[in-house]
Amino acid sequence: MKKPKGRLFGYEWVVFAVLAVGALVMLFPFVWMILSAFKTPQDVYVYPPKWLPSSWELTNFTRVFQMIPFLRYYWNSIFTSVAQTALQVGVSVTAAYALAILVFPGKRFYAALLQSSMFVPVVVTMIPLYLIVSAAGWLDSYQGLILPQIETAFTTFLLMSFFASIPRDLIDSARLDGCGHYRVMTSVVIPNNKGAISTSALFCFLGNWKSYTWPLLATTKPAYRTLPIGLKYLVQESSTEYQVMMAASLMAIVPVLIAFLFFEKQLVRSITLTGMKS
């Protein structure tokens, strides 16, 4: 006898309960941050803790703008993250196409060389990269923040696994119709891998948005500082004003939430297709 759809039986209740508890645990810090951003200092430090603020205040948000040039940091992070993501995805798509579709001498060597870069800790490359950027005169500039971070082997290999799954007959048919490599990539490969490319873009944006070490090294002027560095300054300025830090954190995650909501369907689709690949 088949089980009715939409109902939970036996161990499925246990799985559902465990997942529900896990979801609540994951959501607790986020909900607490939102509520704390609107609390008064008295509500923050009262014991026992209060979930809801006694009065919903917006003064914590205005305090953020008074303490640090928040809008400038915000704009720098948005501009550099979007530019880095666009360049990273563009470079990764072309590199993944070459390594997954084309046939040329030394292909395996180049792929192994690129893969080996994933095993090198990022901190090892910081000093040489800083010396190169300094010699080029790119310190305290947008190009110094953006260009050194556009190469990512992880994104390239992620896209390679999807590009390699495209039937070779489809590519050969496009070539017989007179399409060059650029046309094959833009008309065949990319349209059939929108989910994977969107997922790569989301990963790139998240990584660039939270980047702290390189912007700290490459900038000395507040005009080029990004939001993670600005939040660090805010912590120093408002170490006892917990509610102000929560207000700044709430504003800082808005672009991340927007990016996730925008790419959510493509992300789920790419994960589903990954599970279906043989």
Cα–Cα distance, 226 to 98 (Å, whole number):
34
Over residues 57-62, the mean pLDDT reads 88
Cα–Cα distance, 162 to 158 (Å, whole number):
7
CATH of span 67-276: 1.10.3720.10
Question: Which pLDDT band, with edges at 50, 70 and 90, does 9 fall under?
Answer: low
Portion of the chain with pLDDT greater than 90, in percent: 31
Give the pLDDT confidence score for residue 15 in this predicted structure.
84
Over residues 212-239, the mean pLDDT reads 88
Mapped onto helix, strand or coil, the DSSP state of residue 150 is coil
Question: Which pLDDT band, with edges at 50, 70 and 90, does 156 fall under?
Answer: very high
52-86 in b/e form (b: 16+ CB < 10 A) is ebeeebeebbebbeebbebebbbebbeebbbbbbe
pLDDT at 28 over 70: yes
For residue range 67-85, what is the model confidence (pLDDT) as tens digits?
889 999 999 999 999 999 9
- The secondary structure of 65-125 as a DSSP string is HHHS-HHHHHHHHHHHHHHHHHHHHHHHHHHHHHHHT---TTHHHHHHHHHHGGGS-HHHH
Cα–Cα distance, 42 to 63 (Å, whole number):
16
Give the pLDDT confidence score for residue 274 in this predicted structure.
53
Cα–Cα distance, 142 to 147 (Å, whole number):
8
Question: Which pLDDT band, with edges at 50, 70 and 90, does 56 fall under?
Answer: confident
Cα–Cα distance, 216 to 30 (Å, whole number):
27
Question: Which pLDDT band, with edges at 50, 70 and 90, does 96 fall under?
Answer: very high
For residue range 117-154, what is the model confidence (pLDDT) as tens digits?
888 888 888 889 999 999 999 999 999 999 998 878 88
Give the pLDDT confidence score for residue 257 in this predicted structure.
85
- The secondary structure of 121-137 as a DSSP string is -HHHHHHHHHHHHHHTT
- Mean of per-residue pLDDT scores for the chain: 85
